[in-house]
Amino acid sequence: MPNATFALTLGLAGCASAIAMPDTPPSPTASLSVATDADVAFARGRGPAALDELLVKYDHMHDGAARDALALSIDKVAAQRYATVSRLYWYTDLARAEAAAATQHKPILALRMLGNLDEDLSCANSRFFRASLYANKDLSAYMKQNFVLYWSSERAVPKVTIDFGDGRRIEGTTTGNSAHYILDEKGAVLDVIPGLYAPRAFRAELAASLAHAREVAAAPAHERGAKIIGYHQARLADLRKRASQLNVFAMRGSRVSAEDALSQAQNATISKGYVEVPQLRKITQAELTSIDDDEVSTWAMFANQLWPATPTKADKATEYERVVYRQEFWLAMTGAVFDEQSIALIGRIAGTANTDERNRMIARFARNALADSALNQLRLRVQIHELLAKGSTDFATINDAIYASVFHTPKSDPWLGLRGVDFSGLPNDGATMPAATAQR
């Protein structure tokens, strides 16, 4: 995303000089709706109020280059790509987020991810969050009303560029995972929601975590630890019961070989795997295991049982129809998974001119998001409740354990399982470390 200049004038009385740094006179270019990175920093210092004012300005502008430039500025002030759709302000400084949480008496919803949320090439799951969760009109309003939002980066996201040598390029990211942590106003971990969930499932899990956070906050200090442990023990027992009822442990994807770290990391998710696994197979020449379409559809059906929605015609389809007319079934289900605002943003980002192709792509994403919801809940969330039931609320400790044991991308592996073990014909396997201490 361009870093040059940003249109930040607020267009409101008395605000033209507000975007300059406090100890610096307003830039003479401010009246021309051009601002510097320093102006962006000052606007972020003003917090959500500055974002709201910019959004008012944006909403009253006609489509065109000036409005597009302002949208990029808004992304920077919000610290999130496509913030004109989500309308969410994200803190990137934990101390400021904690201060806001203490003032507003709200828990913190802390996104942990690879890369940066305000860049196109952040990790795949964070891109999915922006398009399907944060863009959801009702869900973004719920997040804004009930949480202070904060994100931080686990590490830089691995990027892949395929250069065809004639000007054509494909750029993307690979591997890594994301999670939403629910923290109290002092940064203690109360709950963790791993990976991608469909909007209605994410809303339900946020509501449960919010109720838990409020119960902990209202309890005497000496009882809070026991309440946290009790909550996770109860949720763990419930999820184990549901997993048994749905026969989750018979699913092939639940038994990925522990010998293949890269496959383990990819099978911790479905939507992301659909994007990354085909490319990873070509790049690494690894024999990656993956979850097939039949199993993905089964996981998606599990999600409908875990988080029932108002039945649609597609919901009422027979098992025969679901199998024989799978594409048509998920096309019919798309509107029950994503709202119109999210569907519009997904289509805009995808950029394909073929309407039928775009609709089928969104339908596959809807199915995969539902499948991820159930897989995350019945496999990854079980591991997380086991971890939190032990009583630790320290973010660094819990985060390290989740990335190592749940997401299978430990900090001890600088290559995230992407560096091969066989002879490649390239010096040092083509790997470069920034320091002279490069090791396998």
Which pLDDT does position 322 carry in this prediction? Answer: 52
pLDDT on residue 310: 58
Place of tokens 């749940």: 406
| pLDDT tens by residue, 302-327 | 888 898 875 555 555 555 455 444 66
In whole angstroms, what is the distance from residue 192 CA to residue 380 CA?
Answer: 10
The per-residue pLDDT for 331 is 75
pTM of the shown model: 0.83
Instruction: Sort 78 into a burial class: Cβ within 10 Å, 0-12 / 13-18 / 19+.
Output: buried
Domain boundaries, the chain: 1-78, 79-418
367-395: buried (b, 16+ CB within 10 Å) or exposed (e) per residue?
Answer: bbbbbbbbbbbbbbbbbbbbbbbeebbeb
* pLDDT tens string 34-45: 367 888 888 999
Q: Of 80, 81, 33, nearest to 57 (Cα)?
A: 33
pLDDT of residue 434: 77
Low-confidence ranges of the chain (pLDDT < 70): 1-35, 250-291, 310-329, 420-424, 435-440
pLDDT at 15: 35
CA 159 – CA 172 distance, rounded (Å): 6
